[in-house]
Amino acid sequence: GENVEQHPSTLSVQEGDSAVIKCTYSDSASNYFPWYKQELGKRPQLIIDIRSNVGEKKDQRIAVTLNKTAKHFSLHITETQPEDSAVYFCAGSSGGYNKLIFGAGTRLAVHP
Amino acid sequence: DTAVSQTPKYLVTQMGNDKSIKCEQNLGHDTMYWYKQDSKKFLKIMFSYNNKELIINETVPNRFSPKSPDKAHLNLHINSLELGDSAVYFCASSPTDVLNEKLFFGSGTQLSVL
């Protein structure tokens, strides 16, 4: 079946450093790629999304890049802060109903 | 004021019991979902409803039966609970005509089957 792989599973950075999380997808028809942030014990929340007709999108300290040819996309967080600590999930759409296939998540820890 | 609210937040029950989780959204969205997050945090869609009509049924055992009395509510009933059903169940809704975009999640129901 369709698959989204996410790396790394855990990521530890110092406050102020950048963090990069990468995902690859298998469905070449995928056209929508959201990123969700889930703090401990909380609900997942959409932080940024990108469509396949766009190569890059930025929102303040967060950016997402997409390489359709290689079928991978990445989340970039600059100037990380302790409140960025959370589990981040990538996802790709798949199938006629645009079903989301989620990656396994990346646990990001930002140390002061 | 909670946009997507689900109850209960915690549910502890014995194997074999039947239980329900309720979900309501006040965002005026047409589409609602149930997602399951297992102990490894893996998120997977179970069902999707658009205007009370079932759109996605993702190979979920028929012990799970969603019910949407109106487009603001999507409840989940589970019969004959099994140990493997233990997970966090998230309700969600989305605002656009395209399914599965810009999901708003509820706060989750942690189900523990003993």
pLDDT given at position A91 = 96
Interchain proximity A102–B42, CB inside 8 Å: yes
Please state, in angstroms and rounded to a whole number, the distance separating the CA atoms of residues A19 and B91: 30
CA distances from B39 to A15, A85, B85, B112 (A): 29, 19, 11, 11
pLDDT given at position B1 = 63
pLDDT given at position B57 = 81
The per-residue pLDDT for range A66-99, each reduced to its tens digit, is 999 999 999 999 999 999 999 999 999 987 777 8
Interchain proximity B43–A32, CB inside 8 Å: no
Q: What is the DSSP letter of B85?
A: G
pLDDT given at position B59 = 76
The per-residue pLDDT for range B15-43, each reduced to its tens digit, is 999 999 999 999 999 899 999 999 988 99
pLDDT given at position A96 = 73
Interchain proximity B56–A97, CB inside 8 Å: yes
Average pLDDT, integer, range B76-97: 93
Of A32, A45, A100, nearest to B45 by CB-CB distance is A100
